[in-house]
Chains A and B, each alone.
Chain A
Amino acid sequence: MIWNPNKECMGREQMRELQGKRLHKVVEYVYHHVPFYRHKLQEMDLSPDDIRTIDDIVKLPYTTKKDLRDNYPFGLQAAPPSEIIRIHASSGTTGNPTIVGYTRKDIGVWSECMARCLTAYGVGRDDTFSVSYGYGLFTGGLGAHNGVEMVGAAVVPASTGNTEKHARLIRDLGITGIACTPSYALYLAETMDRLGISKDEIKLRVGAFGAEPWTENMRKEIQDRLGLKGFNLYGLSEIMGPSVSYECEEQHGSHINEDHFFPEIIDPVTLEPLPAGQTGELVFTTLTKEGMPVLRYRTRDLCSILPGECPCGRTNVRMSAIQGRTDDMLIIRGINVFPSQVESVVLTMKEFAPLYMLIVDRVNNLDTLMVQVELRPDFFNATLDTPAAIEELEQRFAAKLRSVLSIGAKVQIKAPGTIERSQGKSTHVIDKRQLK
């Protein structure tokens, strides 16, 4: 089934025409409402009238995560505060999160895009669908939620945590679909095994998995253990949230909702656009967003646009699976984590040397994060001479980390001189997770 054949199966020329019109409109809109973009365009001697077709997009400046950080909290917001009806926040590279405000129309577009994804997965009004992304500042929970309501399925806002209760609800309510991170799906499968809930007792048939990279092997394992078909769901809060792209029944790449989010692939070094089929950095321009539109936002995700048509009948372009990052961002339990965020917290603690190591692992299908820090000999004093005092220091640090990272981390305090000093390019991360 296709939710909106008008848009999802639109002729290519027609689509490009629509994208061109919308691009002109959004450039004009940000030119008049976002000083950041007005200055950038003026510096480049560009006016909105120079942007007429979608091919003109290459004239526009890029937007980076740093731009979002520098304009914290509302510098890139185009709509007046009275029009904003929801605000989400995602990880920034340092202390400040990235703030994204949505107008009523934005939430409508988001729900529509999410409805397209769910319909492609085969979810409809007869389904009972559990949303197991975190509800809160993270866009996953509420983003998926609105789409499930729009397609008319019964939404179960399970969120994350309390997995045992959730496993029982899946069985007892006959839940047929679930949206969560792929690693949470595996954790859920494990929890069901532990509770003695067998695959035959549950009715799950569709999984919408995203917010972290996953592999075909993981897909196979999740499908085998939960007895469902797993589909990729891609998104990022800077652009919208989940629903930027989605797999159809062909499961060969994810269709981009390109009437709303225009994709480009660029060489991350030269910043030159790359043709379909070549891997590079994924860049999005929001074509219809009112709250916080962005021009050519560099996602730092590496992938390619797949050439050719999809047998499913949809004409919107497909992107490959994400093959990596151009920065050091980690995705831990679906949450974006930058080593620089940890650094910003370490630097506030006078007891620790300005050194740290992140050790990421996956234990029983759940990501774990350990942060190692080192005591500074000159700040070690008599108030720290008991295990209780060291533990208190650990907890104080862990609480600060949690508030900045939005996920819990185990803290390990090390003796001076034990964290490896880097030669040249510093390595702050040991990722032991094997994604095969």
Chain B
Amino acid sequence: MTIRQLSIFIENQSGTLQKVLELVKQSRIQIIACTIADTAEYGIFRIICSEPDRACKELKEAGVAVAISEVFAVELDNQPGGAADVVGYFSQAGIGITYMYAFLLEGRGIMIFKPARAVEAEEVIRTNKLRCLSEQDLPVNA
């Protein structure tokens, strides 16, 4: 039910993001969605990409602090309140959302998120018949 995401530690310095993106480019990995969780001194650069295993391996070999985590990608209704409804199901179940970000896929809103408790989150998704993306659904052009 989940997809794989790369989390990359980068320092807040000019050129650090560029360095990682260059490596991704050299590996011919396609980035589909991304976000940065920033702090005063560093950021966690999160990406959904093609071939996450190979991307992770090659970045690690290049000396990058990178890890793979499992996240959910849920389709939202394209209308006002779409995100509120989905997040509402989880809060009603008492499940915290550690982080989330969203992107558009062929005109549809996709919310990527990491719940505090994955097993219970899956239960909420099933019960409420939420549409969950798998990695095959991602538009990989490479």
- Residues of A whose CB lies within 8 Å of any CB of B are 375-378, 380-382, 384-387, 390-391, 412-418
Which listed residue, A376, A384, A387, A412, touches B37 by the CB 8 Å rule? A387
> What residues of chain B lie closer than 8 Å to A377, measured between beta carbons?
60, 63-66
> What residues of chain B lie closer than 8 Å to A384, measured between beta carbons?
7, 9, 67
* Segment 40-75 of B: residues with Cβ below 8 Å from A: 41-42, 44, 46, 60, 63-70
Question: B110 interface residue, CB < 8 Å from A?
Answer: no
Q: Which residue of A lies closest to B41 (CB)?
A: A412
Question: B101 interface residue, CB < 8 Å from A?
Answer: no
CB proximity of A350 to chain B, nearest CB, Å: 13
Asked if B99 and A386 sit within 8 Å, CB to CB, the answer is: yes
CB proximity of B20 to chain A, nearest CB, Å: 9
CB proximity of B121 to chain A, nearest CB, Å: 16
Question: B16 interface residue, CB < 8 Å from A?
Answer: yes
Asked if B39 and A387 sit within 8 Å, CB to CB, the answer is: yes
What is the bound-complex CA distance between A342 and B9, given in angstroms?
Answer: 23
> What residues of chain B lie closer than 8 Å to A413, measured between beta carbons?
9, 41-42
> What residues of chain A lie closer than 8 Å to B37, measured between beta carbons?
386-387
B72-112 vs A, Cβ < 8 Å mask (1 yes, 0 no): 00000000000000000000000000110000000000000
Question: B11 interface residue, CB < 8 Å from A?
Answer: yes
Cβ-Cβ contact count across A and B, 8 Å cutoff: 58
Asked if A380 and B63 sit within 8 Å, CB to CB, the answer is: no
Q: Which residue of B lies closest to A379 (CB)?
A: B65
Contacts A/B (CB < 8 Å), 22 sampled:
A375-B65, A376-B65, A377-B63, A377-B64, A377-B66, A378-B60, A381-B67, A382-B7, A382-B69, A382-B70, A384-B7, A384-B9, A385-B7, A386-B37, A387-B42, A390-B9, A390-B44, A413-B9, A415-B64, A415-B65, A416-B63, A416-B64
Please judge, given known A-B contacts A390-B9, A414-B11, A416-B63, whether A385 and B16 are in contact too, CB under 8 Å: no
Of all A-B residue pairs in the complex, the 3 with the closest CB atoms, nearest first, are A385-B7, A380-B65, A382-B69
CB proximity of A391 to chain B, nearest CB, Å: 8
> What residues of chain A lie closer than 8 Å to B3, measured between beta carbons?
none
> What residues of chain A lie closer than 8 Å to B16, measured between beta carbons?
415
Q: Which residue of B lies closest to A385 (CB)?
A: B7
Q: Which residue of A lies closest to B66 (CB)?
A: A380
Which listed residue, A378, A380, A390, A417, touches B42 by the CB 8 Å rule? A390
Q: Which residue of B lies closest to A388 (CB)?
A: B98
CB proximity of B45 to chain A, nearest CB, Å: 10
Asked if B42 and A415 sit within 8 Å, CB to CB, the answer is: yes
> What residues of chain B lie closer than 8 Å to A378, measured between beta carbons?
60
Asked if B11 and A418 sit within 8 Å, CB to CB, the answer is: yes
What is the bound-complex CA distance between A225 and B139, given in angstroms?
Answer: 69
> What residues of chain A lie closer than 8 Å to B10, measured between beta carbons?
415
Which listed residue, B42, B44, B63, touches A385 by the CB 8 Å rule? B44
Q: Which residue of B lies closest to A412 (CB)?
A: B41
What is the bound-complex CA distance between A386 and B66, given in angstroms?
Answer: 12
CB proximity of B117 to chain A, nearest CB, Å: 15
What is the bound-complex CA distance between A256 and B68, given in angstroms?
Answer: 63
> What residues of chain A lie closer than 8 Å to B66, measured between beta carbons?
377, 380
What is the bound-complex CA distance between A299 and B64, given in angstroms?
Answer: 44
Asked if A415 and B11 sit within 8 Å, CB to CB, the answer is: yes
Asked if B11 and A387 sit within 8 Å, CB to CB, the answer is: no
> What residues of chain A lie closer than 8 Å to B63, measured between beta carbons?
377, 416-417
What is the bound-complex CA distance between A110 and B41, given in angstroms?
Answer: 47
What is the bound-complex CA distance between A387 and B40, given in angstroms?
Answer: 10
Asked if A382 and B67 sit within 8 Å, CB to CB, the answer is: yes
CB proximity of B97 to chain A, nearest CB, Å: 12
Asked if B67 and A385 sit within 8 Å, CB to CB, the answer is: yes
CB proximity of A199 to chain B, nearest CB, Å: 38
CB proximity of A36 to chain B, nearest CB, Å: 46
> What residues of chain A lie closer than 8 Å to B41, measured between beta carbons?
412-413
Q: Which residue of B lies closest to A383 (CB)?
A: B67
Q: Which residue of B lies closest to A380 (CB)?
A: B65
Asked if A380 and B98 sit within 8 Å, CB to CB, the answer is: no
> What residues of chain A lie closer than 8 Å to B69, measured between beta carbons?
382, 385
CB proximity of A236 to chain B, nearest CB, Å: 37
> What residues of chain B lie closer than 8 Å to A416, measured between beta carbons?
63-65
Q: Which residue of A lies closest to B70 (CB)?
A: A382
Given A413-B41, A418-B11, 7 more pairs with CB closer than 8 A: A376-B65, A385-B67, A386-B37, A390-B44, A415-B10, A415-B16, A417-B63
Q: Which residue of B lies closest to A417 (CB)?
A: B63
What is the bound-complex CA distance between A246 and B120, given in angstroms?
Answer: 70
> What residues of chain B lie closer than 8 Å to A381, measured between beta carbons?
67
Asked if A385 and B46 sit within 8 Å, CB to CB, the answer is: yes
Q: Which residue of A lies closest to B19 (CB)?
A: A415
What is the bound-complex CA distance between A416 and B99, given in angstroms?
Answer: 24
> What residues of chain B lie closer than 8 Å to A391, measured between beta carbons?
39
Instruction: Specify which of B10, B16, B66 lies most central, judged by the most chain A CB atoms within 10 Å of its CB.
Output: B66
CB proximity of B91 to chain A, nearest CB, Å: 19
> What residues of chain A lie closer than 8 Å to B65, measured between beta carbons?
375-377, 380, 415-416
